[in-house]
Structure 1
Amino acid sequence: MTLTQLEIFSRVAELQGFTSAALRLGISQSAVSHAIKALEQELGVELFRRHQSPIELSDIGRQLLMRARTLLGVADTLQQEACDARGMKRGTLRIGSFGPTSSNRLLPRILKRYRLQHPGIEVHVDEGPDRQVIQWLDERRIDVGFVVLEHERFDTFALFKDQMVALLPAAHPLAERPCVALKALCTDPFILTEAGSLELVSRLFDSARLTPNVRYRCSQLLSTLEAVSRGDGVSVVAQASLPETPDARYTVRPLSPPVSREVGLAVLDQRQSTPATLAFIQVAQSVDFSAAASLIEPGHLSSS
């Protein structure tokens, strides 16, 4: 059993296909097939159900995948520590990002400084809903991820705080109010954004013992903005996730009582994190996000 075989096994499991894994790894499909077959023969088990489309892990394959990722993570840490001893001139960093707040406002500023300090580190960024980033961390698919705090099972590092706001069609009666209570948002059709702060929005209504009239579920914030602009419903979103340029078709109002949201970075275990990951966290904590924070001042809450 080799680390190369385990890496190929992990890629095939992640991408659910031999061809996709070959393209990602930059090797031939036959090389992927040969590596998986050799690993299965050595272990004496079938790792995949090949008759499925896309292919699926077998029961034992799912059990072994977490072990394989753990071993690959340890190997990567060893390599990174060796690189660190040489001035961290080489290495890889895998980042998980969600929604416009982290992908558009926070990450570009961090990466600009990080690349200047560590130009030899190869950076990979995967984007998905906030709950997907959590899953990637658990499965060790990424080294560090942007999350909405708090997450007790991870080591976390706070970066930025904004607030949740009501998103309303410009002509909606609630747009005349200076602030909006959650209860007032339960009458109209509600548009739930799957990306971003889905878990936080759901918890807000649950803790208030309220049930929004969810009619739409949008995978991206842009779809939510368009639906609200058309008058299809109302929503609750994070202020910093909204475009910097106001749009007259929708109105933003603070919630009453106010609800804040804190965004930070999370790792599975700081003690096992690679030097490249720890350097990224250090750089992130040194960046001044006051420009992004200015978007949540009272004067910036109205788009009408």
Structure 2
Amino acid sequence: MTLTQLEIFSLVAELHGFTAAANRLGISQSAVSHALKSLEQELGVELLLRHQSRIELSDIGQQLLLRARAMLGLANTLRQEAADARGMKRGTLRIGSFGPTSSIKLLPLILQQYRATHPGIEVHIDEGPDRQVLQWLEERRIDIGFVVLPEERFDTVALIEDQMVALLPAGHPLARYDSLSLKDLCRTPFVLTEAGSSELVSRLFTAARLTPNIRYRCSQLMSTLDVVARGDGVTVVAEGSLPNHIDSRCVKKPLSPAVLRQVGLAVLDRRQASPATLAFIKVAESLDLG
């Protein structure tokens, strides 16, 4: 069993295909197929179920994939520690980011400083909803991720704090109030954005034993803002995720009682984090991101 075989296995599982994995790795499809066949023969189990149009993991394949990613992560840490001894001139850092708060307002500032101090580190960024970033961390697909705190499952570092706000059409009857409760927002069509802090918004209503009248589900914040601007619904978003100048057809109102949101960085286990990951955390902590 080799690390190359495990890397190929992990990539085929992630991309659901031999061709996509071969293209990503820059090798032939036959080489990918041979590596996986050899790995299956050595382990004595079928890792992949090969259908005509798709590839999926067997039950044991699902189980061993987590082990494979853990081994690859530790191997990467070993390489990073060796690179650190040489001045960290080479390496890879995989980052998970969610929504405008991290992707637009936090990540560019941190990366600018990080690349200046560690130009040899190759940075890969994956973007998805907050729950997706958590899954990527658990599956070791990324080294570090931006998350909404608290997250007890991971080792975390707080970076910024903002508040959740209601966003309404400017002509909405609720727009005349100074602040709004979650109950107020249940009496009108609601827009739920799947980006950013969707999990936090859902938890807020659940904890208050309230059910918003969800009429729209948008995958991007800009789509949510457009629905609100058109007068088709109201929403709850993190203030830090909003553009500096929102559409004049929208108004934002604080929630009552106030709901604070804390955003930070998370790693699966700081003790096993690579030097490149720890350096990223150090840079983030050194900056004034508020």
Once residues 75 and 102 of structure 2 are traced to their aligned partners in structure 1, the CA distance between those partners, rounded to angstroms, is: 29
Counterpart mapping for 1:35-54 below 5 A: 35-51=35-51, 53-54=53-54
Structure 1 residue 246 displacement after superposition: 2.5
Once residues 176 and 53 of structure 1 are traced to their aligned partners in structure 2, the CA distance between those partners, rounded to angstroms, is: 56
What letter corresponds to residue 235 of structure 2 in structure 1? S
Once residues 24 and 179 of structure 1 are traced to their aligned partners in structure 2, the CA distance between those partners, rounded to angstroms, is: 50
- 1:206-250 Cα shifts (integer Å, max 9, x gaps): 111111111211111111111111111110000111111231121
Aligned to 2:57: 57
Deviation >3 Å, runs of 4+: none
User: In 2 relative to 1, CA 245–285 (structure 1 residues): closer, same or farther, beyond 3 Å?
Assistant: same
Once residues 230 and 100 of structure 1 are traced to their aligned partners in structure 2, the CA distance between those partners, rounded to angstroms, is: 21
Secondary structure of 2:166 counterpart: strand
* Structure 1: runs of 5+ lacking an equivalent: 291-304
Aligned to 2:223: 223
Counterpart mapping for 1:125-204 below 5 A: 125-204=125-204
Aligned to 2:278: 278
Aligned to 1:109: 109
Aligned to 1:268: 268
Structure 1 residue 52 displacement after superposition: 6.0
Give the TM-score, by structure 1 length. 0.94
- 1:262-304 Cα shifts (integer Å, max 9, x gaps): 00000000000000000000001111113xxxxxxxxxxxxxx
Secondary structure of 1:79 counterpart: helix
Secondary structure of 1:236 counterpart: strand
Q: How many residues align?
A: 290
What letter corresponds to residue 225 of structure 1 in structure 2? L
CA RMSD of aligned residues (A): 0.9
Give the TM-score, by structure 2 length. 0.98
Structure 1 residue 32 displacement after superposition: 1.1
Once residues 177 and 52 of structure 1 are traced to their aligned partners in structure 2, the CA distance between those partners, rounded to angstroms, is: 59
Structure 1 residue 202 displacement after superposition: 1.0
% identity of equivalent residues:
74
Once residues 34 and 174 of structure 2 are traced to their aligned partners in structure 1, the CA distance between those partners, rounded to angstroms, is: 62
- 1:68-90 Cα shifts (integer Å, max 9, x gaps): 01111111110000000000000
Aligned to 2:206: 206
Aligned to 1:232: 232
